[in-house]
């Protein structure tokens, strides 16, 4: 029997009004503006853009404000908004070699052309709380030096010249898109990279860490990590040529991985690749490690049964909006389902009690 | 033929500059230029998205990285010249000004628009890029080798 239950509208309205008040917090404290969040919580904004899969810093900042700083809730808002936009087309693939680099480091080549540029990094800070920030500390202007005018070459291109690095195969101009058709397995690398770049940072980090600890270990070195701006170019149908339609900040990580050769491939270095919207270094490095672990099949490696090698496990559990939706639905009313469960347990207990009293009588 | 190629290259350059300019800077430069051409809006301004692509390993197969917001607008001047604006973000006013500038740049007003609108935007873009590059350059590591005590 199905019994429809209505009611709760007043409770819901009042709950949402209270939510709005709690979001605002103490009215004696000035209200945050979206611009303040965009400028001063920029790494949170970057994460929301990356996992919301929509590059728009103002929208991401608004979502963070609306979500009271709950970044997964903010990502949910961005994903929902994204579905309302008509899509004008797809861009030409980004030329990250032309990036204006804020940061560019290599763990493999000390003297790479273009040098090691630290950029605005948390690295080498002492992780001590800075109480000056609690007292409205003004910042001094950072030092400047002679700006590099030429493009910074990819470090991988030097290894490539020696033939020591696995070449990257060409692919279709229009890659598969998991926002347009459901993710099906086996997934080609283009689809895996799309899932990883919008996947939950914590999940991708945990998967990457598991490969470092020995579950499908692949001896990764960061050949290059670069953060900076790249123009986005798209073919405009009514013009018949392509133009730059904007400029975005991305983080790119290329790993080189030791590879002793396999049944099908000679000994060489192999690659893992991470590319993520915004300044999102932890995520980009994690993505590169997981990308490399998922490539075992095409490189002729053994499946050692590690979680990070299992594309079904990784790709079907990396999306925090899918995961949240399914996880949190169990808190919503399940009264009727639960009534039938309750009836079942009562029936089983009656039967068990009857059976034990019957066997007790038989034993007497 | 080269004339056509040059024309396309020039148009690509100004459209790219307009797309990347901060909306407020474009509005200021346009307002200061005092241009108010008669025109009809053919389309938009319309907010949408563009799927941004990357390449596996930076040089390999394309993959979908995620979308970005883009606003487009098309206008026709009274002389019949059509202009298009495709600009980053969700600012309809920015897209409409970009379309008008694109149209005017194809007319006799090109020189005036170049001086009043595009040149200041270009200078501003260069200045912002150079400042970031100069700060980055100051964080470049200068390695030196430690001389060890033993022979």
Residue A265 has pLDDT above 50, yes or no: yes
Which positions in chain A touch B98 (Cβ < 8 Å)? none
Is residue B11 within 8 A of residue B32, CB to CB? The reply is no
pLDDT tens, residue by residue, A116-160: 999 999 999 999 998 888 887 778 899 999 998 888 999 888 877
> pLDDT band at A177, cuts 50/70/90?
very high
Counted domains in chain B: 1
Q: Which of residues 31-50 of A touch B (CB under 8 A)?
A: 49-50
Residue B17 included in any domain: no
Q: How far apart, in whole angstroms, are the C-alpha atoms of residue A318 and residue A294? A: 13
**Which SS3 state, helix, strand or coil, does residue B139 take?**
coil
Average pLDDT over residues B111-124: 95
Distance from CA of B36 to the nearest CA of A (A): 24
Residue A95 has pLDDT above 70, yes or no: yes
Residue B49 included in any domain: yes
Give one word for A54, left, alpha or beta, with left for phi > 0 and alpha for psi -120 to 50.
Answer: beta
For residue B90, count other CB atoms closer than 10 A to its CB: 18
Q: Of B15, B135, B140, which has the smallest distance from its Cβ to A142's Cβ?
A: B135
Mean pLDDT (chain A, rounded): 92
Q: Which has more pLDDT, A335 or B28?
A: B28
Q: Which of A29, A101, A57, A64 is closest to A251 using CA atoms?
A: A101
Residue B131 included in any domain: no
Is residue B103 within 8 A of residue A115, CB to CB? The reply is no
pLDDT at B76: 96
- Looking at A3-17, A277-291, A311-325, which range is the least confident one? A3-17
Beta carbons of A171 and B60 less than 8 Å apart: yes
Which positions in chain B touch A198 (Cβ < 8 Å)? 66
pLDDT tens, residue by residue, A330-339: 888 888 888 8
State the complex-level ipTM: 0.93
Residue A3 has pLDDT above 70, yes or no: no
Which positions in chain B touch A91 (Cβ < 8 Å)? 50-53
What number of CA atoms fall less than 13 Å from residue A324's CA on the CB side? Answer: 15
User: What are B143's two structure tokens?
Assistant: 């390695």
Average pLDDT over residues B88-114: 95
Strand bridging mode A241-257 / A220-236 = antiparallel
What percent of chain B has pLDDT above 70? 94
pLDDT tens, residue by residue, A44-73: 999 999 999 999 999 999 999 999 999 999
pLDDT at B123: 96
Residue B1 has pLDDT above 60, yes or no: no
Residue B4 included in any domain: no
Q: How far apart, in whole angstroms, are the C-alpha atoms of residue A54 and residue B85? A: 21
Q: How far apart, in whole angstroms, are the C-alpha atoms of residue B50 and residue B149? A: 60
Residue A282 has pLDDT above 90, yes or no: yes
Domain coverage including residue B49? 22-126
Domain boundaries, chain A: 10-82, 96-120+151-167+178-324, 333-363
Beta carbons of A171 and B62 less than 8 Å apart: yes
pLDDT tens, residue by residue, B60-78: 999 999 999 999 999 999 9
């Amino acid at each position: 029997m199905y019994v429809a239950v209505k009611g709760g509208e007043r409770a819901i309205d009042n709950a949402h009004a209270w939510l709005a008040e709690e979001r605002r917090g103490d009215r004696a404290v000035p209200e945050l503006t979206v611009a303040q969040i965009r400028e001063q919580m920029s790494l949170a904004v970057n994460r929301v853009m990356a996992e919301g899969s929509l590059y728009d810093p103002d929208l991401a900042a608004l979502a963070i404000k609306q979500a009271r700083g709950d970044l997964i809730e903010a990502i949910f808002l961005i994903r929902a908004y994204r579905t309302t936009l008509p899509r004008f087309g797809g861009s030409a693939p980004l030329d990250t070699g032309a990036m204006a680099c804020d940061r560019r480091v290599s763990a493999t080549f000390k003297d790479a052309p273009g040098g090691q540029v630290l950029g605005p990094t948390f690295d080498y800070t002492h992780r001590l709380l800075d109480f000056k920030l609690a007292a409205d500390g003004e910042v001094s202007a950072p030092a400047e030096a002679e700006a590099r005018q030429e493009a910074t070459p990819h470090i991988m291109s030097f290894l490539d010249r020696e033939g020591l690095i696995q070449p990257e195969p060409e692919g279709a101009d229009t890659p598969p898109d998991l926002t347009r058709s459901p993710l099906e397995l086996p997934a080609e690398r283009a689809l895996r990279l799309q899932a990883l770049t919008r996947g939950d940072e914590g999940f991708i980090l945990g998967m990457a860490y598991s490969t470092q600890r020995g579950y499908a270990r692949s001896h990764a070195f960061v050949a290059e990590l670069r953060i900076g701006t790249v123009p986005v170019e798209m073919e405009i149908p009514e013009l018949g040529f392509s133009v730059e339609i904007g400029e975005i900040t991305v983080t790119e990580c290329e790993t080189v991985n030791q590879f002793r050769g396999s049944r099908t491939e000679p000994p060489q270095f192999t690659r893992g690749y991470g590319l993520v919207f915004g300044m999102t270094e932890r995520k980009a490095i994690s993505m590169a490690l997981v990308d490399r672990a998922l490539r075992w099949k095409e490189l002729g490696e053994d499946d050692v049964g590690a979680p990070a090698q299992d594309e079904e496990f990784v790709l079907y559990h990396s999306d925090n909006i899918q995961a949240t939706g399914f996880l949190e639905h169990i808190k919503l009313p399940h009264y009727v389902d639960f009534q039938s469960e309750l009836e079942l347990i009562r029936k089983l207990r009656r039967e068990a009690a009857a059976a034990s009293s019957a066997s007790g009588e038989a034993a007497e | 033929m080269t004339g056509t190629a040059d024309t396309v290259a020039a148009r690509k350059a100004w459209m790219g500059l307009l797309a990347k300019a901060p909306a407020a800077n474009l509005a200021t430069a346009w307002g200061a230029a005092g241009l108010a051409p008669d025109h009809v809006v053919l389309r938009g301004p319309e907010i949408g998205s563009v799927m941004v692509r990357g390449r596996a390993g930076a040089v390999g197969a394309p993959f979908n990285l995620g979308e970005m917001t883009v606003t487009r607008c098309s206008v026709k001047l009274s002389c019949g010249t059509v202009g298009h604006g495709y600009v980053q973000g969700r600012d309809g006013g920015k897209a409409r000004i970009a379309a008008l500038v694109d149209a005017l740049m194809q007319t006799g007003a090109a020189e005036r628009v170049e001086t009043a609108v595009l040149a200041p935007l270009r200078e501003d873009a260069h200045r912002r890029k150079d400042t970031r590059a100069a700060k980055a350059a100051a964080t470049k590591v200068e390695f030196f080798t430690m001389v060890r005590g033993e022979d």
